[in-house]
Structure 1
Amino acid sequence: MNIVELEEVYKNYGDLQVLKNINLQFRRGTSTALVGPTGSGKTVLLRLIDLLEKPSSGTIYFEGTNANESNDIRLNIRRQIGMVFQKPLAFKASVYDNIAYGLKVRGKKENMDKKIKEILELIGLPGYENRNALKLSGGETQRLALARAMITDPRLLLLDEPTANLDPISKKKMEKLILRINRESETTIIMTTHDLSQGQKLADRMIILYNGQILQSGTPDRIFRKPKNRFVADFIGIENLMSGQIEDSSDGLVKIKTDFITVFALSGKKGKVHFTIRPDEITVSREKFQTSARNTIQGKIYKIIDTGSFIKLLVDTGELITVFITRESLNELSLSVGTNIWLYFKASAVHVF
């Protein structure tokens, strides 16, 4: 079942249109990352979902109920949502009182001591009840804000750039905590982030926003494998992004010519196109051999980059093509900068858009 639905939502500030025709559904218990450059509308969208603002037009539903039907309905829904802002503030009080605030406002004081102790254990701050909240580190303050949002058992948790201002160690702790909350409590999470790798790690689904519009939505794997357009491909840092002209087509197999190479791919498109070649689906050899792969291209190794987990070859074929290989393959083939090699890949390894 969908916990939140947005139907034809627009948001304007005067003459400035910030969000345009947003149609989204968020399933209960899932984790979604809203990803896009600064100014793309991510935070505004999150504030609309949190009912802090109203759309200029369109409707937001919470479990099938129109969230703006009345002030009472709006208030009742907001009590089921937790929000952690990018720069959270701590009250001038103890850690205990900061976390207890939401429970006191809602009149839910039963077993409050036990709940606060449990949530401090969850966020990795056991025994911090009497600490001055204003003297916590940045990472601790971020976790405190998360605890303050979670103590009321929200159905929906909204996170605005939850690790943007954290050091690498605090960021790692926060990411583990978000994963744990989503998996163990089945809380629905919607978060904004600039960090694509974070979206991959924490989200079941990524939504790419640009200029107030949704460019693509899907699983992280789907988006990274099959970007819908040039902007998405550029933004997510896709490897081997090229443009060319389709010159021939037969039964779904097309021949694409760039200024330097010819590539065969599976596509129904015509004319000028963009395409990517998956670096992990390219085979390398020093000698040319017969293969079932439709594409065979010769090139010279321009650069070798050791990423730690795999070797990245930059191969000059006229077009600069990136290839991922293992360290064992690098040694077995005795590859070095300047080595002439052959690249092989199937037509299915090419994504055309």
Structure 2
Amino acid sequence: MHIVELEEIYKNYGKLEVLKNINLQIEKGTSTALVGPTGSGKTVMLRLIDLLEKPSSGTVYFEGADANESNNTRLEVRRQIGMVFQKPLAFKASVYDNIAYGLKIRGRKENMDGRIKELLEMIGLPGYENRNALKLSGGETQRLALARAMITEPRLLLLDEPTANLDPISKKKLEELILKINRESETTIIMTTHDLLQGQRLAENMVILYNGQILQSGTPDQIFRKPKNRFVADFVGIQNLMSGIIEDSSNGLAAIKTDSITVFAVTEKEGKVHFAIRPDEITISREKVQTSARNTIQGKVDEIIDTGSLIKLTVNTGELFTVFITRESLNELNISIGTSIWLYFKASAVHVF
């Protein structure tokens, strides 16, 4: 069952249209990352889900019911949601009182000491009960805010850019904590981030937002391997991204003509298209050889970059290709800048969109 569903959501501030026709379903117990550049509408969507704001039109459902049906419904739903803001504020009180706040206002004080102690252990701040919350570091404050949200045992946890202002060590600790919460509890997590790799690390599902619209949603693997449009492909850093026109197509095999080369792909699409080939789908040789690969293209090495684990080659075929090889292969093939090499890849390795 969906814990949250957004149906035809629009959000305007005066004449400014921030969200446009948002349709999204979030399954119980999953982790989802709303990913996009600054100004794409991620935080506004999170505030609508948290019922801090109402949509200009459309419906927010919580477990199948309209969450904005009445003030009482909104209050009941919000009690089941925990929210951690990008820049959380600590109350002028002890760490203990900060975490206990949500329980106290709900009148749920049973076994409060034990639960707070367990949470402090979980967030890596054991024995901090009597510390002044205002004197915590940025990373400690972020973890405190997470504990304050979790103490009420929310069914849905919302995180707005949770590591945006943290140093690398604090960021790593908080990411480990988010993963721990997701794995060990049934809490559904929705987080916003502009960090694509963080979304890939922490979430089962990703939603790519741009200019107030959802461009693509799916697993990280689906988005990284099969972007639906040029913006998503550029945003996720797809290599070997090109454009061309399908000039010939039969039995699902198409010849795509760029300004410089022809690439064969398995697709039913027609006309102008974009396409990409993952570097790990490309093999190389110094001399032309017979292979089962439909695409055989010659080029010259323009650039050689040592990335540490692999060697990155930029090969100019008229179009620029990125290829990764091992250091051993670089030495065995005696490749240097200006070396002429052949590239091979299957038609099925060409992703067309």
Q: 3-state SS of the aligned residue for 1:48? A: helix
Output the CA distance in 2 between the equivalents of 1:134 and 1:281: 52
Q: 3-state SS of the aligned residue for 1:142? A: helix
Give yes or no for the alignment of 1:201 onto 2:201. Answer: yes
**Paired residues for 1:11-22 under 5 Å:** 11-22=11-22
**Paired residues for 1:277-292 under 5 Å:** 277-292=277-292
Give yes or no for the alignment of 1:215 onto 2:215. Answer: yes
The amino acid that maps onto 2:114 is K
Alignment match, 1:351: 351
Give yes or no for the alignment of 1:331 onto 2:331. Answer: yes
Give yes or no for the alignment of 1:61 onto 2:61. Answer: yes
5+ residue gaps, structure 1:
none
Deviation at 1:127, TM superposition (A): 1.0
Output the CA distance in 2 between the equivalents of 1:104 and 1:234: 48
Aligned in 2, Cα 1:28/1:309: closer, same or farther, shift over 3 Å?
Answer: farther
The amino acid that maps onto 2:73 is I
Alignment match, 1:165: 165
Output the CA distance in 1 between the equivalents of 2:263 and 2:108: 65
The amino acid that maps onto 1:119 is L
- 1:155-198 residue CA offsets vs partner (Å, 9 max, x unmatched): 00000001111111111111111111001112100000000101
Output the CA distance in 2 between the equivalents of 1:66 and 1:227: 32
The amino acid that maps onto 1:275 is F
Give yes or no for the alignment of 1:102 onto 2:102. Answer: yes
Range with greater deviation from structure 2 (284-293 or 330-339): 330-339
Output the CA distance in 2 between the equivalents of 1:293 and 1:303: 25
Output the CA distance in 1 between the equivalents of 2:331 and 2:132: 57
Output the CA distance in 2 between the equivalents of 1:102 and 1:142: 16
Give yes or no for the alignment of 1:120 onto 2:112. Answer: no
Output the CA distance in 1 between the equivalents of 2:117 and 2:308: 41
Alignment match, 2:307: 307
Alignment match, 1:129: 129
The amino acid that maps onto 1:327 is R
Deviation at 1:210, TM superposition (A): 0.9
Output the CA distance in 2 between the equivalents of 1:156 and 1:193: 17
Q: 3-state SS of the aligned residue for 1:264? A: strand
Q: 3-state SS of the aligned residue for 1:83? A: strand
Q: 3-state SS of the aligned residue for 1:171? A: helix
The amino acid that maps onto 1:233 is A
Deviation at 1:131, TM superposition (A): 1.1
**Paired residues for 1:235-250 under 5 Å:** 235-250=235-250
Alignment match, 1:252: 252
Q: 3-state SS of the aligned residue for 2:342? A: strand
Q: 3-state SS of the aligned residue for 1:34? A: strand
Output the CA distance in 1 between the equivalents of 2:107 and 2:330: 65
Output the CA distance in 1 between the equivalents of 2:186 and 2:342: 49
Output the CA distance in 1 between the equivalents of 2:189 and 2:285: 46
Deviation at 1:331, TM superposition (A): 3.0
Range with greater deviation from structure 2 (40-49 or 337-346): 337-346
Deviation at 1:306, TM superposition (A): 2.3
Identical aligned residues as a percent: 84
Deviation at 1:51, TM superposition (A): 0.4
Q: 3-state SS of the aligned residue for 2:88? A: coil
Output the CA distance in 1 between the equivalents of 2:333 and 2:186: 48
Deviation at 1:19, TM superposition (A): 0.8
Output the CA distance in 2 between the equivalents of 1:204 and 1:160: 17
TM-score of the superposition, structure 2-length normalised? 0.98
- 1:240-288 residue CA offsets vs partner (Å, 9 max, x unmatched): 1111111111101000111111100011111111111111100011111
Deviation at 1:307, TM superposition (A): 2.2
Deviation at 1:305, TM superposition (A): 2.0
Output the CA distance in 2 between the equivalents of 1:327 and 1:117: 51
Q: 3-state SS of the aligned residue for 1:90? A: coil
Alignment match, 1:321: 321
**Paired residues for 1:35-46 under 5 Å:** 35-46=35-46
5+ residue gaps, structure 2:
none
Range with greater deviation from structure 2 (326-335 or 277-286): 326-335
Q: 3-state SS of the aligned residue for 2:237? A: coil
Deviation at 1:100, TM superposition (A): 0.7
Output the CA distance in 1 between the equivalents of 2:343 and 2:49: 48
- 1:37-85 residue CA offsets vs partner (Å, 9 max, x unmatched): 1111100000000000011111111111110111111101101000000
CA RMSD in angstroms comes to: 1.0
Deviation at 1:340, TM superposition (A): 1.5
Output the CA distance in 2 between the equivalents of 1:49 and 1:309: 42
Alignment match, 1:29: 29
Q: 3-state SS of the aligned residue for 1:215? A: strand
Deviation at 1:308, TM superposition (A): 2.6
Deviation at 1:303, TM superposition (A): 1.4
Output the CA distance in 1 between the equivalents of 2:328 and 2:144: 46
Output the CA distance in 2 between the equivalents of 1:3 and 1:308: 44
- How many pairs are equivalent? 353
Deviation at 1:314, TM superposition (A): 1.1
The amino acid that maps onto 2:53 is E
Output the CA distance in 1 between the equivalents of 2:306 and 2:120: 41
